[in-house]
Amino acid sequence: MRARTLYVAITYHGYGHIAQTAPVVNALCARRPDVRVVVESAAPRAVLSNHFHAPFEHVECGTDFGMVMHDSLDVNAPASHARYLAQLARWEEEIEASLDRLRRHRPSLLLGNVPYIPLLAARRYGCPAIALCSLNWAEIYLPYCAPSPGAAEVHARLLEAYASARAFIRPAPSMPMPTLANTLAVGPVARIGRRDPARLKARLGLAAGTRTVAVFMGGVPTPLPLARWPRHAGVHWLVGGSDCPERPDMSPLDRTGMPYIDVVTSCDALITKPGYGGFAEAACNAIPVLYVEREGWPESPYLVTWLARHARCLVLDRAALATGAVMARLRRLWAMPAPPAVPPGGIAEAVGHLEAALGG
């Protein structure tokens, strides 16, 4: 069997795009150990290595930025539009630079989640390209920036790139993307953790009856006023992605020495924002969720509606997050009937599409 090269281009807009891509690539490599993997992303290699199990070459650069964020909840629309206009001015230059990288690595297939420039470069290079994502940046960008001069051209360029892919795989839950004719719906894509609450509590020196709650707003830095949160007997908070106060009832999430997905799966609840990685992993690992409203983010309604069908979840307003008034919601969450975990069936479905495109 002739060796194939899979070139994976990933947006570094927090961790969600990495978490959505890696399970598919890992499963593909388990089936096809002949496949050489190259990962292009602005994410540090250490972050990628936490997700990708197969060996990979790292091209540390990024051709897109998603949206400029104030924090994990709020978009800086003017700054985002300015960056898109600046990129539009050097559009051809960026495609040619991406094309040069493809020529160096000679891919058999490009998988994008979900930068647009590499898709256009792949078309020029002559290799098939597949997009995989629950969103596309064209439909995220437009609601925030539509009134601004030049927004229609930016939107059209992004859509052109996504339409150029052989297929755009949409793992559940995803935006509907009616403007694209090449979409393929598949099931959820998520990592499955090892649930072991006793191990987690032993690592932290906690009593057996302690409730553990993970507080993680994603990969975009988001300061939280956790030092002001009230203390509750029998509850311990595991904090990720934010400064953890020096308190006996709080620990940094990475202090456990356990993989992130094992920690969260072993907790009694997760406090987070609407995002594909957190929501899909919660439903596929049967983790109860309190989620903070992410007003205006176009993908949110589809994520929230899906999670409400498949997992225990409740909304938490921002004022409660700021003050730590979360226990009443947590108790209500824990009293809800627990549905079964959702199988991450989208992994095998996506692998099937990639194998067909890879050939060999």
- Segment 269-315, tens digit of pLDDT: 999 999 999 999 999 999 999 999 999 999 999 999 999 999 999 99
Mean pLDDT, range 73-84, rounded to an integer: 98
- Position 121 pLDDT exceeds 60: yes
> Residues 23, 135: one domain?
yes
Phi/psi of residue 175, nearest 5 degrees: -65, 155
> Residues 185, 202: one domain?
no
> Residues 164, 306: one domain?
no
Q: Could you report the per-residue pLDDT of 320-349, keeping only the tens digit for each?
A: 999 999 999 999 999 999 999 999 999 999
Whether 224 is covered by a domain: the verdict is yes
Query: In the prediction, which pLDDT does 116 show?
Result: 98
Tokens of 78: 């003017």
Report strand pairing: 35-40 vs 57-59: parallel
* Residues whose CB falls within 8 Å of the CB of residue 221, separated by 6 or more in sequence, listed in order: 71, 72, 241, 242
| Residue 13 near residue 44, CB atoms below 8 Å | no
Phi/psi of residue 151, nearest 5 degrees: -65, -35
Chain mean pLDDT for the chain = 97
- Position 1 pLDDT exceeds 60: no
Sign of CA pseudo-dihedral 68, 219, 72, 11: positive
Report the number of distinct structural domains present in the chain.
2
For residues 81 and 65, give the distance between their C-alpha atoms in angstroms, rounded to a whole number. 11
Mean pLDDT, range 84-113, rounded to an integer: 98
Q: How confident is the model at residue 3 (pLDDT cuts 50, 70, 90)?
A: confident
> Residues 172, 225: one domain?
no
Comparing CA positions, the residue from 64, 53, 44 lying closest to residue 26 is: 53
Q: Could you report the per-residue pLDDT of 124-154, keeping only the tens digit for each?
A: 999 999 999 999 999 999 999 999 999 999 9
> Residues 94, 35: one domain?
yes
> Residues 258, 145: one domain?
no
* Residues whose CB falls within 8 Å of the CB of residue 195, separated by 6 or more in sequence, listed in order: 262, 265, 266, 285
> Residues 173, 95: one domain?
yes
Q: Could you report the per-residue pLDDT of 8-31, keeping only the tens digit for each?
A: 999 999 999 999 999 999 999 999
Whether 340 is covered by a domain: the verdict is no
Whether 151 is covered by a domain: the verdict is yes
Domain of 265, in residue numbers: 197-335
> Residues 41, 168: one domain?
yes
Q: Could you report the per-residue pLDDT of 155-202, keeping only the tens digit for each?
A: 999 999 999 999 999 999 999 999 999 999 999 999 999 999 999 999
**Could you tell me where the DSSP H helices lie in 126-185?**
137-145, 151-163
Query: In the prediction, which pLDDT does 241 show?
Result: 80
Question: Which residue type sits at 88?
Answer: L
Q: Could you report the per-residue pLDDT of 220-252, keeping only the tens digit for each?
A: 999 999 999 999 999 999 999 878 999 999 999
> Residues 27, 10: one domain?
yes
> Residues 149, 48: one domain?
yes
Which CATH number goes with the domain that contains 237? 3.40.50.2000
> Residues 260, 325: one domain?
yes
| Residue 337 near residue 311, CB atoms below 8 Å | no
> Residues 171, 291: one domain?
no
